[in-house]
Amino acid sequence: MGGFDFGEARIYGKSKPGAYAVGQHEWVTTFNRTHRIALLSKRKTDILLVKVKKWPQGVFADPTTIEGRAAWYSYAFWLRIAAGALLDIDPLELQASFRSLSEQSQPVGETFLCDQLENGAGYCQFLAQPEEFEKLMAHAKPTHSNNIAWKWMAEQGHANDCDTSCNLCLRDYQSLAYHGLLDWRLALDMARLLMSDSAVIDLISPWNQSANPWQNLVQGKNARISATLQRLGYKPPTPFGTLTGYVHKRPMRQLIQIVRHPLWQDNQPQWLAAKMVAEAQYPDYEIQAANPFIILRRPGDYV
């Protein structure tokens, strides 16, 4: 369910008629029952809904987490760009976002595209046809120079210069409120998951004949994730199973950061294996999961 729970507010202990608050604060408290309030903009148009039917073990875009929401928003705006390319229209003729639902007591995400025009322009109905949707999703394959994935991954400069998102990939004026969340690598990973539940989601495995776009962030002399962690006081990278970890230089910290994909959960098999290796080698150390999505945006979280 959307919206927020508002309760009558006391400010510095005094009741203020007509004042409502969400949650508690140092000098603001709520009392009596709460009211769920949400803003709604209602109109009639065509809509296309897209969600992942089956997730690989240990991989999930949780819409209640920052990286999960980022994955859904990034995929939604990628889908709009791909639809514009396929239909040869301005992508802004479509609206894109995602919604959160509850399935088996678990929050799940669902992307939607809708026509800007009242009563619909027919775009989403057209894209919902299985053969057309397959053409749409083909833009996530870096196999042809006309595909969006090829342009983002193979064109000179973009894959190396764009850590998160830019005006050459996901950012535009309409998505301004989400620029801090958007990530073109997450968008393509989500598209791959929607095409196949057997897609390998990690930081280094090749995508068919193309290099994994996350790889240049985590491996090599110019890898930004590696450089950032070392500047924050960690030693050069150390392998732990199939993953790479960073041991803090200061023995008193007794901390290891193991880098894993932003969509990996704590039950992901490779993560569990790497954690076991690290615990065997450093039994007194705390083992943490290092999230590339967060490292690029809030490196201070890993100080």
pLDDT at 148: 94
Pairing, β 14-21 against β 286-290: unpaired
**What's 106's DSSP letter?**
E
- Residue 36 contacts residue 1 (beta carbons within 8 Å): yes
Mean pLDDT throughout 80-103?
Answer: 94
Percent of the chain with pLDDT over 90: 73
- What percent of the chain has pLDDT above 70? 97
Query: Which pLDDT band, with edges at 50, 70 and 90, does 1 fall under?
Result: low
pLDDT, one tens digit per residue, over 183-212 is: 999 999 999 999 998 999 999 999 988 999
pLDDT mean over 77-95: 95
Which pLDDT does position 43 carry in this prediction?
67
Please give the Cα distance from 101 to 110 (Å, whole number): 7
State the pLDDT at residue 189: 98
pLDDT at 111: 97
Indicate whether 155 pLDDT > 90: no
CA dihedral over 274, 280, 281, 286, signed as positive or negative? positive
Question: 217 falls in which pLDDT band (50, 70, 90)?
Answer: very high
Give me the mean pLDDT over the 69-75 stretch: 98
Q: What are phi and psi of 126, to 5 degrees?
A: -65, -45
Residue 243, both tokens: 């993953």
Mean pLDDT score, 12-37: 82
Residue 125 has pLDDT above 60, yes or no: yes
pLDDT of 293 reads 98
Tell me what the mean pLDDT of segment 47-54 comes to: 94
Residue whose tokens read 């073990």: 57
In contact, 267 and 55? CB cutoff 8 Å: no
CA pair distance 67, 263, nearest whole angstrom: 7
Q: Which of 27-41, 130-144, 209-223 has the lowest average pLDDT?
A: 27-41
The overall average pLDDT reported for the chain is 92
The pLDDT assigned to 145 comes to: 85
> Is the confidence at residue 172, as pLDDT, over 80?
yes
Q: Say yes or no to pLDDT of 140 above 90.
A: yes
Question: What are the C-alpha distances in Å from 228 to residues 179, 202, 215, 242, 246?
Answer: 22, 20, 15, 21, 11
Tokens of 277: 């290796």
Are 125 and 83 in contact by the 8 Å Cβ rule? The answer is no
What is the model's pLDDT at position 294?
97
Residue 138 CA, chain-centre distance (Å), reads 20
pLDDT above 60 for 98: yes
